[in-house]
Amino acid sequence: MLTKNIETALNKQIRIEAESSQTYLAMACWAEVSGLEGIAQFMFTQSDEERAHMLKLIKYVNERGGHALVSELKAPTTTYGTFKEMFEALYKHEIFVSDSINELVHITFSEKDYATHNFLQWYVAEQIEEEATAKSILDKINLIGDDKGGLYLFDRDIQQAAITAAIPKV
């Protein structure tokens, strides 16, 4: 059984995951209309992944005797000056999500809710991966600089990464 404090904190994280999905969806739309098909596909895949993270939390809250809440979401940014600005925003957002997960883990530890603490370890590991991916992408973008040929290859490479990520892991 979840305490009210932990249920509230988990519902806050549900909202953050939902907003993350919307953020990636808005980035996908911007990339697609900007002719960056590979980046768009990557962002659509990321949006789906964030929604799956949200659903995993919802199921957990409901199964532990709480009530998962679907709340109003903050509208995401819908345009960017450059694809680099978009990925910088993505990286900052992933750091924000990591901080939120870490705070949630801290609350569960403080309240001695070890089941929820254990459940959240998957999110901790996932955020390490998400931040590393975002940082790696930014590093590649910085290598490309203003090279249009490099952007074309980057767009194709990230599209391939999105296709690979969409293949179910066995």
Summarize the annotated binding site for Fe cation as residue ranges.
Answer: 17, 50, 53, 94, 127
Binding residues: 17, 50, 53, 94, 127
Rg over alpha carbons for the chain, rounded to the nearest Å, is 17
Residue 110: other Cβ atoms inside 10 A? 11
Instruction: Please state, as a whole number, how many other Cβ atoms lie within 10 Å of the Cβ of residue 52.
Output: 12
d(CA 151, CA 144): 7
With contact defined as beta carbons under 8 Å apart, do 137 and 84 qualify?
A: no
